[in-house]
Amino acid sequence: MGAIQPKVSEPVSDELALVQAAKGGDVSAFEELVRRYDRNVFRIAQHITQNREDAEDVVQDAFLKAYSNLGQFQGQSKFYTWLVRIAVNEALMKLRRRRPERMVSLDEDVKTEEDSVPREVADWSPNPEQQYNQAELREILGRTIQGLPPGFRTVFVLRDVEGLSTEETAEALELSIPAVKSRLLRARLQLRERLNRYFKRRNGNGEILSAGGDGDQ
């Protein structure tokens, strides 16, 4: 009896042609693939490693590894999903090398369930982005996401920042779909909780305006 197979998105046809050409030795076809995805790979690598130099290395290593192993790519999934899997593995290896005293894996900290229960419920300012200038906002967002365990951070980045589907994220991270959904929920709730301190609405006296209501949480 077969298990239910995850849905695989339709491969992009011109992309497959590029991959085929690259497999056949056309380096300029591979360069086009690099051009399409280098920004995404860099963002993912920087989010996981939280280090600019490491992210640069990951971009180079991931594309080189993809080029060397093009023969393994069967075209059953999108090239991008396959590339993301390589990049995530390279980024996690960087993290492990940097923190040899701690084993880093996508399974790290999966037991922090209690962190996902909303502790503070407060309305946010109508336009939280406008409370801070661009540089301050990036600093806040970077510092906040850095505090998430890598396993949660990675799922959030792939799903919510890079826009991969749940199925593609599961495939790229070699996780089950329920595991992706569970981590995504907890990542979203933890980030929300952490951003509260910057974005919650205050009255004229600087006091937090808490939500009312009769919820049972």
Partner 1 sequence: MKCSEFLQELTNYLDGVMDAKTKSELEDHLSWCHNCYVVCDTTKKTIEIYRDSQLYELPDDLRTRLRSAIMAKCQARKKTGPREV
Cα(57)–Cα(162) distance, integer angstroms: 20
| Residue 15 is a binding residue for partner 1 (CB under 8 A) | no
In whole angstroms, how close is the CB of 204 to partner 1 at the nearest point? 21
| Residue 155 is a binding residue for partner 1 (CB under 8 A) | no
Of the candidate spans 32-40, 86-94, 103-111, 167-175, the one that interacts with partner 1 by CB under 8 A turns out to be: 32-40
Instruction: Give the C-alpha distances (Å, rounded to integers) separating 139 from 118, 119, 125, 136, 146.
Output: 23, 24, 19, 5, 11
CB 16 within 8 A of CB 75: yes
CB 107 within 8 A of CB 182: no
Where are the alpha helices (H) located in the chain, listed in sequence order? Answer: 13-23, 27-49, 52-68, 79-98, 134-146, 150-156, 166-173, 177-199
CB 150 within 8 A of CB 157: no
Cα(188)–Cα(5) distance, integer angstroms: 26
Q: Whose Cβ is closer to partner 1: residue 101's or residue 114's?
A: 114
Cα(52)–Cα(85) distance, integer angstroms: 20
Q: Whose Cβ is closer to partner 1: residue 79's or residue 156's?
A: 156
| Residue 84 is a binding residue for partner 1 (CB under 8 A) | no
| Residue 36 is a binding residue for partner 1 (CB under 8 A) | no
| Residue 137 is a binding residue for partner 1 (CB under 8 A) | yes
| Residue 70 is a binding residue for partner 1 (CB under 8 A) | yes
In whole angstroms, how close is the CB of 127 to partner 1 at the nearest point? 10
Tokens of 136: 């301050």
Binding site residues, partner 1, CB under 8 A: 22-23, 25, 27, 30-31, 34-35, 38-39, 42-43, 46-47, 55-56, 59-60, 63-64, 67-72, 116-118, 121-124, 128-129, 137-138, 141-142, 145, 156, 160-161, 163, 166, 181, 184-185, 188-189, 191-192, 195-196, 199, 211-217
